[in-house]
Structure formats: C-alpha cells, structure tokens
Structure 1
Amino acid sequence: MTRAGLAAARSGTTQLAEIIPQVNDEQWELPSACDGWRVIDVVAHLAALASEAVDPPPPDPSLPKNRERYHDLRVDQRRGWSHAEVLDEWRRSTPRQLDLLEAEQEPPSADEPVEVAGLGTYPRHLLANTMAFNVFCHLYNDMLAPDGPLPFRLPEPTDDLVAPAVDFMLAGLPQMQGPELTATVGRPLVLELTGPGATTVTIHPATAPDGQLTVAPGTDDATTRIHSTALDFIAGATTRKPWRDHCSITGDAAAATPFLDFLNII
C-alpha cells in the first residue's frame, strides 16, 4: 500500500500547521503563485478538499467538469469568509481526512478503484498520495518564497516528502488529459528525475486507438530522454514554471517537446 503517501501527507500538513501562525492578516491577502488565488485561498482550497473527502457532497451535474474550474468554484464559495473561518475549516477537516486516508490503506478497501472527477480512477490507497501532492505543491510552490509571497523557510524537501507526490503525478499522467496528451507521444520517452523524489520511468505510447499512455519503471529501449530534478518536474509538469527552464532532452527532442508542451498535471 502507499503508506509513504500517508506519511508525506501528515508531514506536509504538519509543516503547513507550523507556517499558519506566522502569517498575518496582510500576508493572507497577498497574491499566491497560484494564478488568481490569494494565500488564504490556497488554504481554502485545501480545506475544501478535506471537507469533501470526509463529507462528500451529493452529485451535482451543474458543477464544472473541468477540475481546475471546479477548484476555482469551491474557492470562490469561500471568498466571503474571514481568515479565521477558512483556517477553522482546514483545522477541523484535515485531521479527519488523514484518519480516513489511514483507514483506506487496509484491505479489502485499499485496492478498490475510486473515480476522482476530472482526474481519473485510482486505487483507494493512492488517495493519500493525492493529498501529499496537493499540500506539497501549494505550500512549497505557491505560498512560500521564492515563488510565493511568504518569507518563511522550511527544511529542504526530502525524498520522503517528494517521492509520494511524484508517484501520484505519474499515476495521473495517463488519465488527466485524455486523448489530447496521448496523441503527443508517438514513441517511448524516458523520464529521468534526480534529487529528492528521484525515479526513472518510461512513458509508452497507447497501443490501441482508444487506449492510454503507459508509465513503466525503468528505461526500456527508448533513446529519447527527458532529464529534470523531481522538484523541477513538479513545478514544470503542473505548469507553475516553463519546462524549458529546467528540463533537458537527449535524443530526438522533437519526440519529447509536444508531450512536455501539453503536460499539465492538476
């Protein structure tokens, strides 16, 4: 099971809980590095995710199908809240979310497929990695300097914190953007990530017209390679930073460029 994902989710949550008391009212209102969201809106987003995890709302066909627009909607619903109200929701719902994720590491439910609207289908135990990814991305990339506005420091990210986030990204990669991303991969591409969260996988083209990309461990026989640190991959593959600023390609660059241009992990 993905107990590493659960541990990372708990660690990231603890780090955010340590930052929150240091933020003053003016800083909560600063624009974060997440386009259109203030710093307090980032916490509102995490609070909304936690609340929906522990108390799922009934299906509503009128809600946006696009996951990013859905997140914007949930944040917009909280824009009239005070800072204290947003933080109270996060503090109230997050421990319950973590407890739920811990229970989902146990069989028989751990391997049950769960559809995450707009993002694909995952084994239930991998939802812990989803939370680890969300907290890490927003805290390190959107809230804290140098990319975010908050002048506070945390320890340099470790493998234990980064690897579970990368694992979720690689699980979501074949699913989130559907046939549009699939169409950009005509031959195997090796993705070689270094530093904390290091891994090497091969992205294989779909083998059927309606199939998905496949992400497999190792290098296979692919000659085109994408090189990046795992931390830069998180920033680039979520479109927080231009991938050209941190990725290098060896082999046939024309085979990898369309894939990197289109990649957008949510």
Structure 2
Amino acid sequence: MTRAGLAAARSSTAQLAGIIPRMSDEQWELPSACDGWRVIDVVAHLAALASEAVDPPPPDPSLPKNRERYHDLRVDQRRGWSHAQVLDEWRCSTPRQLDLLEAAQEPPGADEPVDVPGLGRYPRHLLANTMAFNVFCHLRNDMLAPDGPLPFTLPEATDDQVAPAVEFMLAGLPQMQGPELTATVERPLVLDLTGPGATTVTVLPATGPDGRLTVAPGADATTQVHSTALDFIVWATTRKPWRDHCRITGDASAATPFLDHLDII
C-alpha cells in the first residue's frame, strides 16, 4: 500500500496550513506561478479537489474532458468567493479527504481500480499519492518564492515528501497523454532521478493490447535522461523547460521527442 503517500499528503498539507495564517489579503491576490491563477485560486483548486473527493458530484457530460480545463472551470466557479469562503472550504474538506485516503489503504478495497477522469485508472490506495503530488507541487512551485510570489520559506523537501509525488507521476505517465506521448517512444529510455525522491525507471515502448507505454523499475537502456527528482516535478509538468534541467546520455535523438511531449497534469 502507499501509506508513504498518505504521510506525504499530511506533511505538505500541514506546511500549507502553517503558511495560511501568515498571509495578507494583498498576498492572496498576487498572481501565482500557475498561469491565470492567483494565490487564492491555487488554494481554491486544492479545496475543490478535496470537496469532490468527500462528496463526488454526479456525472455531467457537459463538463470539459480535458483535465486542466476542468480544473480551470472549478476554480472559475469560486472566483467570486471571498478569501474566507475559499479557506473555509479547504479547512472543512481537507481533513475529511485525508481520512478517506487513510481508509483507502485498507484491504479489500485498497487495490480496487478507480477511474480519475482525464488522468487514468489507479489502485485506490495510490490516490493518496495524487494528493501528495498536488499539494507539494502547488505549494512549493506555484505559491512560494522563487517561482511563486510568496516570501515564506519551508524546510528543504525530504525524500518522504518527494518520492510519493514522483511515484504518482510515473504511474500517470503512460495514461495521461495516450497515443500522443506513446508515439514518441520507439526505444527504451531511462529516467534517472537523483536527490530526494530518487528513483531510476525505464520507459518501454508500447507492446501490449492496451497500446500504452510501460514504466519499469531499474535502468535497462543506454539512452538515459538524468535529472533531480525535484526538478522532474517541475519540468515534467511543463512548468519549466526540460532542457534547463536534464542531461541526456546515449542517443539524444531518441529521448528528445519524448521530453518535448511529456506533460504530466
């Protein structure tokens, strides 16, 4: 099970909760590093995710199929809310979301597959890692300096916080972009991620009936992409160019199309 994901989600959530009381009204209105979102909109996004986790809305075929546009819609629905209303939703729904994620670590339901619209299918226990990824990534990359506008500091990110976020990203990599990304991998590629959250995996071309890439542990290819795991969270979500953070060994022409197209949500 991914109890490490649950611990990471709790850790980053506690860090966000510690920053919120230090914020001024003016700071909530500053543009975040997430394009088109103010700082308060980032929290509105996390609050919306939490509320939908504890009280799932009924299916609505009119909603955007693209996950990023769906998130924009949910944030837009909250733009007329006061700061207090957004924070109240976050404070109310987040503990309940964490409780649900804790319950999801227990058998027999822990391995039950869950469809996340626009993102793929995951075992229920891995949903804790999605929250770990979301809170960690938005807090550290979109809200806080140097990339975000807020002048607050946090302790250095730990392996316990980073590894679960990376685990979710690698689980989502074969699913989120479908044929567009699959077509870029004709030969195995290694992702060698170092520092906190370090891991090494091989991205294998699609061979099975589902037509998806496979991410396997270990290094089983001569073409390798080297990066820190912290930087992977930034460039693999297209917040920054991969060329500024990656070193390729082996055949760069085999890795470049994959890196150009990768966009984990």
Give the aligned partner of residue 80 of structure 1: 80
| Structure 2 residue aligned with 1:29 | 29
Aligned counterparts, 1:58-73, within 5 A: 58-73=58-73
**Residue 246 of structure 2: aligned partner:** 247
Give CA deviations for 1:206-228 in whole Å, capped at 9, x if unaligned: 014751000000012x1100000
Residue matched to 1:179: 179
Which residue does 1:119 correspond to in 2? 119
The answer for the alignment partner of 1:146 in structure 2 is 146
How many residue pairs match? The answer is 265
Task: Report the TM-score, using the length of structure 2 for normalisation.
Answer: 0.99
Match of 2:160 in 1: 160
Secondary structure at 1:132 match in 2: helix
Q: Which amino acid aligns with 1:88?
A: D
RMSD: 0.7
Q: How does 1:198-217 map to 2 (within 5 A)?
A: 198-208=198-208, 210-217=210-217
Aligned partners of 2:240 and 2:146: how far apart in 1?
A: 13
Helix, strand or coil at the partner of 2:35 = coil
The gaps in structure 2 that reach 5 residues or longer are none
SS in 1 for 2:201: strand
Provide TM-score, normalisation by structure 1. 0.99
The residue matched to 1:201 in structure 2 has which SS?
strand
Counting aligned pairs with the same residue, the percent is: 88
Looking at structure 2, the residues matched to 219 and 244 of structure 1 have their Cα atoms a distance apart, in angstroms, of 21
C-alpha distance in 2 between matches for 1:32 and 1:252 = 37
Amino acid in the other structure paired with 2:245: H
In 1, Cα distance between equivalents of 2:72 and 2:166: 23
> CA separation in 1, counterparts of 2:19 and 2:251?
44
2:7 is equivalent to residue 38 of structure 1: no
Rounded Cα–Cα distance in structure 2 between residues aligned with 1:264 and 1:209? 23
Matches of 1:218 and 1:247, distance apart in 2:
18
Given residue 54 of structure 2, which amino acid in structure 1 is its aligned partner? V
**Structure 1 residue 226 and structure 2 residue 232: aligned?**
no
2:224 aligns to what SS in structure 1? Answer: strand
Partner AA of 1:39 in structure 2: V
Q: Which amino acid is the alignment partner of residue 264 of structure 2?
A: I
1:235 corresponding residue in structure 2? 234
CA distance in structure 1 between the partners assigned to 2:219 and 2:14 by the alignment:
36
In structure 2, distance between residues paired with 1:98 and 1:207: 37
Cα deviation, 1:75-121, whole Å, max 9, x if unaligned, reads 00000000000000000000000000000000000000000000000
Aligned residue for 1:184, secondary structure, equals coil
1:16 aligns with 2:20: no
> In structure 2, what residue type is equivalent to 1:164?
P
Alignment match, 1:90? 90
Pair 1:137 & 2:137 matched: yes
**One-letter amino acid of the counterpart of residue 195, structure 2:** G
Secondary structure in structure 2 of the residue aligned to 1:94: helix
Deviations 1:9-39 (A, max 9, x none): 0001000000101110000000000000000
Letter in 2 for 1:200: T
Secondary structure (helix, strand or coil) at the match of 2:5 reads helix
**Counterpart Cα distance in 2 of 1:29 and 1:178:** 36
Tell me the distance in 1 between the aligned counterparts of 2:212 and 2:108. 27
Separation (CA, whole Å) in 1 of partners of 2:233 and 2:13: 18
Instruction: Quote the offset at 1:173 in angstroms.
Output: 0.1
Structure 1: tracts of 5 or more residues without a match? none
